[in-house]
Structure 1
């Protein structure tokens, strides 16, 4: 036999619930309640780091909290990504090369986290095509000349890390063209750039955002861009697709991800603020002037993109037998 709640009790309960709803909404509105930490899983100076620092101050102003950029490199970004996937403080997010994160499950046999299940996307922020560059001493002034040279003498290709988006892209280019080079992995794009500028390695495949300054000052020679159409900043340089690698396009896609358990209201708030900030004239112009294109997405579009990237590069990884532990 059930008992009904007395009318007076029902009215009291309704009053309590009516008061609780605005309080709960107010608590959500107060997020973040402490400093927000943006984990960049690579050393300072790379594409993800540049973008994180470009948005950190505007995001701090928008959220009313300090925003800290925390470089946490290791294992091609997986160390930092794992830390964010397991964060339970509600104030730790990840800004990384989404392509590299999508490639990791194919390259690493024992990932301590599942990027598809333990993380979720907020928005893409920017796209920077890969540049194929060489040290000025390399006697090649086109991609065809570089391919021919690679068959005559040894060349070292600097890559940000084993299994990075740039590594897999360089493998795809070699497979399509017959180029030969030895891959020299680093802990991030900035270090790979530094050693190529110093002549320790001869060839480099890396994101345009971090690499273009070294091309502009003559410390590196640009031979090709991995984009479907030419980039205005280097319009005189043909794409790799124009130079025989038909249909080829690759690059670094910087985006923001959070632990899978982050509440929907916080996801929506971050998405809206980040899109507003990255599209603002000051930030957009700063990135475009360095070779990055602002490219935003909804969380659903982000998820779809991530799934496609994972499938796209899995075949290249398998064919090249790229593995890391």
Structure 2
């Protein structure tokens, strides 16, 4: 046998062995994904209990548990505007961890802060966009320099006069509350100082205590505190009025031009999770989101239900990443 034919024979044998091994691995993998889940599933939330992302995650946990036939546990990993929780998800390799996240965690986290331990575009896999919502500009019921009956225009006039003696709160650097208020400052000529908190409920409490003079809050939280007489509503960040905040004027009506801002929440998995499992999870989450009971709960929490495919969420991430990156550059926003 020539040397050439011997090499060829060995190559064919090696290829055959590799094919058999690959086939066996594929069969084992198919069986393992078919049996999934084999233990409780975690939904990691980067915000405190009682926050909007936390409420949404808990709305999904029970029906998802029924579909999976396993317990679904919500874990709060709080800090860094939700990025601590997102990092927990990105690094998970147990195939039983997903996350409920907001815009910034899945778009510009790494752009805003290069030291962020994960890359949202590489380390997270989109599952479904759950809901979208405007924010509501809110303020204390009583504050120096602002008349009790002040409308939005009078409020902005007072804010312009106050300059940097006012402060505004957000759930953290890089959140839509932060980026949106910085854009609002540029559009309106106001100059409040940013103070980050662990979540929106903590921001609302600080406003009621007089530590903050303004903040962009989710509609459900803003409306509840306004109805209790604890906060005043200035305007919604959508281009027009919103059914999520009945009777509240848009900021455009107060003369703030070219201002249209939305927050959203979505489920994501680690990119290391097998595609077959992600597909199964995404289908279940969309089914839950589109059920009448969950749709109503989401609306009560301040969300217009969407329930996209993974591809639909990926498209939204791409669009928002580009837009928010421009905003960060134009307004010279940093992670400080």
The answer, yes or no, to whether TM exceeds 0.5 is yes
Does the Cα contact within 8 Å between 2:102 and 2:265 map onto a contact in 1? Answer: yes
Q: Give the length in aligned residue pairs.
A: 315
C-alpha displacement of 1:244:
2.2
What aligned pairs does 1:90-109 form with structure 2 within 5 A after superposition? Answer: 90-109=95-114
Range moving further from structure 2, 165-174 or 185-194: 185-194
Q: What TM-score comes out, normalization by structure 2 length?
A: 0.86
Q: What do residues 156-212 of structure 1 show as CA deviations (whole Å, max 9, x unaligned)? A: 211111221101001111111112212211122121111112222121112224333
Which of the numbers 311, 316, 319 marks the counterpart of 2:327?
316
Return the match for 1:63 from 65, 68, 77: 68
Q: CA deviation at 1:241?
A: 2.5
Q: TM-score, normalised by structure 1?
A: 0.89
Structure 1 counterpart of 2:140, from 128, 135, 140: 135
Distance, in Å, in 2 between the alignment partners of 1:103 and 1:263 is 25
2:124 is matched with which residue? 119
C-alpha separation in 1, matches of 2:301 and 2:41: 27
Q: CA deviation at 1:100?
A: 4.5
- Once the two structures are overlaid, the 10-residue window that deviates more, 237-246 or 293-302, is 237-246
Matched-pair contact (CA < 8 Å) for 1:59–1:274: yes
Partner in structure 1 of residue 313 of structure 2: 302
The answer on 1:227 being equivalent to 2:242 is no
Gaps of 5+ in 1: none
Gaps of 5+ in 2: none
Moved >4 Å (runs of 4+): 19-26
CA distance in 1, matches of 2:152, 2:238: 14
Q: Distance in 2 between matches of 1:210 and 1:150?
A: 23
* 1:148 alignment counterpart: 157
Alignment of 1:1-325 (within 5 A): 2=9, 25-138=30-143, 139=146, 141-153=150-162, 154-324=165-335
Q: Which deviates the most, 89-98 or 178-187?
A: 178-187
Q: In structure 2, what is the Cα distance between the partners aligned to 1:102 and 1:115?
A: 6
For the aligned residue pairs, the C-alpha RMSD in angstroms reads: 2.4
